[in-house]
């Protein structure tokens, strides 16, 4: 059975580095836990690091966080579906919103639950995912401030997640100006200017982050050490908090080119092969991992001499070349994972989760 590990010491090192960085720059941050898919073992490891605020895009995961530590402030980080509003108010202290009708329903539900529900209103800065357009935001805020059981605690923006629009100083200054305008026009204090995420961290080092950006939402960089802006690893961060291991279940020397009439595979792909490979042989290993668990495009063997040659629902096939390391059936192969690889692997109930 394939399994993955979380290295608690490396996670702690990454957390402490980020926590120091943000505190030095007057920034509060929320740990985005959606990569953990509500896994209790891994959530426990994260929350015991001293997390005071956690964010997720699944209500069930926020419920799990509250079950572990009710004192942690929780944020629902996407616009709530109307059918989910009772649960959002119950398990999320704060939610991110873009629709006035939804916020009205949140207010009504908060009244029923005898709560004041806090919200961060998301502004569109060019990524074209969630966010209200700038020309509408003053009227939007005016309507929100009328709601008795809603408290606006922030203004925020999403960048990079859909089209890859990168944050820059101009966009973040624009967000800050929106916040200043709202405070001046309505005589309200907006505590959070939530313009930061993993992709924004390099702007801190470049001294390009406006001082008013005081709230970050960070998951990927915490867990993978990623410099998302430059597609590399941040200095002093560990990229190997998570590792995936899969067992070799067959190992044979086989032809490099399939034999027979060719159609499409389970994913609808067609293959062509180099004529020079006809008649050549190579050692191939099949491992107990498949597309049902993770797409091999998001995995990288730690042994750089290995390469993927194919995948099906329950098995991945790896080219061992001449098998210089003398791999055998039963041996474990180790893999690095990118963001989507880690997310899908944790979400697979067929892959055992361990600590290391």
The percentage of the chain sitting over the pLDDT mark of 70, rounded to a whole number, equals 93
228 and 247, same domain (yes or no): no
**Looking at residue 266, what is its pLDDT?**
64
Task: Please state the φ and ψ torsions of residue 161, each to the nearest 5 degrees.
Answer: -75, -30
The pLDDT score that the predictor gives to residue 255 is 79
User: For residue 300, what are the CA distances in angstroms to 10, 294, 296?
Assistant: 20, 12, 8
**pTM of the predicted model as reported, rounded to 2 decimal places:** 0.92
pLDDT-based confidence at 49, cuts 50/70/90? very high
- In tens, the pLDDT along 137-146 reads 899 999 999 9
Query: Residue 160's Cα: distance from chain center in Å?
Result: 12
Query: Does one domain contain both 123 and 216?
Result: yes
Please pick, among 10, 12, 23, 34, the residue that the annotation labels catalytic: 34
Of the three residues 233, 260, 284, the one that is the final residue of a domain is: 233
Q: Which of 233, 255, 289 is the last residue of a domain?
A: 233
More confident: 258 or 69: 69
CA distance 349 to 356: 19
- Is 10 a known active-site residue? no
> What span, in angstroms and rounded, lies between the C-alpha atoms of 292 and 316?
11
- Residue pair 116/151 in contact (Cβ under 8 Å)? The answer is yes
Assign residue 160 the CATH number of its domain: 3.20.20.10
- Based on its alpha-carbon atoms, the radius of gyration of the chain, rounded to whole angstroms, reads 24
173-194 burial by CB neighbour count: b if 16+ within 10 A, else e?
A: ebbbebbeebeeeeeeebbbbb
Domain that holds residue 151: 3-233
CA 14 to chain centre: 15
| CA 64/CA 44 separation, integer angstroms | 10
Task: Give the pLDDT band of residue 159 (cuts 50, 70, 90).
Answer: confident
Last residue of a domain, one of 214, 233, 252: 233
User: What pLDDT score was predicted for residue 168?
Assistant: 87
CATH number of domain containing 318: 2.40.37
Q: How big is the CA angle at 20 (ends 173 and 233), to the nearest 5 degrees?
A: 75
Indicate if 334 and 209 belong to the same structural domain.
no
Does residue 249 share a domain with residue 228? Answer: no
Identify the band that residue 166 occupies on the pLDDT scale cut at 50, 70 and 90. Answer: confident
Structural domain count of the chain: 2
Same domain, yes or no: 223 and 297: no
């Amino acid at each position: 059975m394939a399994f993955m590990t979380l290295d608690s010491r490396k996670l702690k090192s990454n957390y402490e580095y980020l926590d120091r960085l943000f505190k030095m720059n007057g920034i509060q941050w929320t740990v985005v836990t959606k990569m953990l898919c509500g896994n209790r073992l891994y959530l426990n490891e994260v929350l015991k690091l001293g997390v005071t605020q956690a964010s997720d895009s699944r209500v069930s995961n926020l419920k799990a966080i509250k079950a572990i530590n009710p004192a942690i402030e929780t944020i629902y980080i996407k616009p709530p579906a109307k059918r989910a509003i009772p649960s959002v108010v119950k398990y999320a202290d704060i939610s991110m919103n873009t629709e006035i009708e939804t916020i009205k329903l949140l207010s009504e539900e908060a009244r029923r639950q005898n709560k004041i529900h806090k919200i961060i209103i998301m502004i569109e800065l060019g990524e074209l995912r969630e966010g209200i357009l700038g020309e509408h935001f003053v009227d939007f805020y005016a309507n929100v401030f009328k709601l008795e059981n809603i408290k606006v605690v922030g203004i925020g923006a999403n960048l990079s997640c859909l089209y890859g629009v990168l944050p820059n100083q101009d966009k973040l200054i624009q967000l800050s100006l929106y916040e200043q305008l709202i405070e001046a026009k309505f005589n309200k204090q907006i505590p959070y200017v939530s313009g930061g995420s993993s992709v924004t961290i390099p702007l801190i080092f470049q001294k390009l982050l406006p001082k008013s950006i005081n709230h970050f939402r960070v998951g990927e960089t915490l867990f993978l050490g990623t410099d998302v802006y430059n597609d590399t690893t941040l200095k002093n961060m560990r990229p190997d908090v998570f590792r995936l291991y899969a067992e070799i279940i067959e190992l044979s020397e086989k032809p490099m080119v399939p034999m027979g009439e060719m159609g499409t595979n389970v994913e609808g792909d067609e293959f062509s092969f180099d004529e020079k490979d006809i008649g050549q042989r190579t050692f191939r290993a099949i491992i107990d991992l498949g597309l049902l668990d993770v797409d091999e495009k998001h995995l990288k063997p730690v042994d750089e001499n290995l390469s993927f040659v194919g995948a099906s629902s329950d098995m991945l096939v790896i080219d061992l070349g001449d098998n210089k390391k003398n791999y055998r059936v039963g041996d474990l192969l180790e893999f690095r994972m990118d963001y989507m690889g880690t997310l899908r692997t944790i979400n697979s109930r067929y892959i055992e989760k361990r600590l290391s």
